[in-house]
Amino acid sequence: MPKINKGLRVGIEAKIEYNPILDVLGNHYESMRRSGLNDMQKGMSETLIEKTYQHKYNIQSRLGR
């Protein structure tokens, strides 16, 4: 599985906090990340993206919200 580039990130991509689990998820994460970035650029709020993606990708909330 390819390693995720943890190097310099700029713009809206820099808002995504790095977590080591992202290396394990590989391409699946990259696809979700690109979708999330596109949604942010379209004006979706982080809260709405989080709620939508939790349902869409069956992800548990990081804070138990």
Query: Domains in the chain: how many in total?
Result: 1
What CA–CA distance (Å, rounded) separates 43 from 64?
25
Express each pLDDT in 10-59 by its tens digit. Answer: 676 677 777 777 677 777 878 888 898 899 999 999 899 988 988 888 87
Q: How many whole angstroms separate alpha carbon 53 and alpha carbon 36?
A: 8
Rounded to 5 degrees, what are φ and ψ at 25?
-75, -25
Whether 1 is covered by a domain: the verdict is: no
Residue 42 in any domain: the answer is: yes
Domain, as residue range, for 16: 11-57
Alpha-carbon gap, residue 28 to 44, rounded angstroms? 21
Tell me, yes or no, whether 17 lies in a domain. Answer: yes
- Report if pTM > 0.75: no
- 9-35: b (≥16 Cβ within 10 Å) or e: eeeeeeeeeeeeebeeeeeeeeebeee
The token pair at 13 is: 């991509």
